[in-house]
Amino acid sequence: MFNYILAETAELIPYALNARTHSEDQIKQIAASIRLFGFTNPILIDEENNLIAGHGRVAAADLINMDKVPALVVTGLDEAKRRALIIADNRHAETSGWDYEILTQELAALRDQVDIEAMGYSHDDLARLLGEASSDAELSEASAEDKWQLLTEYPDENALAEAYDKAQKEGLTCKIIM
């Protein structure tokens, strides 16, 4: 059973054992998305205002001084099911994949029309996906230094996405080739 409400952000209780993390940059991206599109994905809470899903959205709402956020109140969950839903909600999104060819086409078409960062991509991410240098400094750096490349095959899209994210966090320039 679900009830739709506007929840007071000050009354929400984050789950202390939430395993999903959100960087400051990601919170800013979510906030930009909320500003651009509105709050399009309600949070999930239980009857006592315990946050089940939407910790990042609530942090972004706080960042832009929203006092209330759309929420679905999930009723009838015991403790085990509530905790399992917290994990499942995050995991299901994480295990989906991308068609990088279509994603690249869509981002290229939208880059001059909307704030790309509000969609969760930096301009550097976009440049990497499009195989472009993201700045004049990167162009001169690329021509001034030798570059080494490693081509690696992955068994599936999820493994590829995980390796891509890890390499980017290490500061490596990544390009997906299909």
Tell me the per-residue pLDDT of 151-165, one tens digit each, with 9 for 90 and over: 777 787 777 778 877
Contacts of 104 (CB under 8 A, 6+ apart): 129, 130
* pTM score: 0.69
- On the question of pLDDT at 147 being above 60, the answer is no
Tell me the per-residue pLDDT of 76-118, one tens digit each, with 9 for 90 and over: 999 999 999 999 998 887 888 888 889 888 988 888 898 888 8
pLDDT, residue 143, reads 42
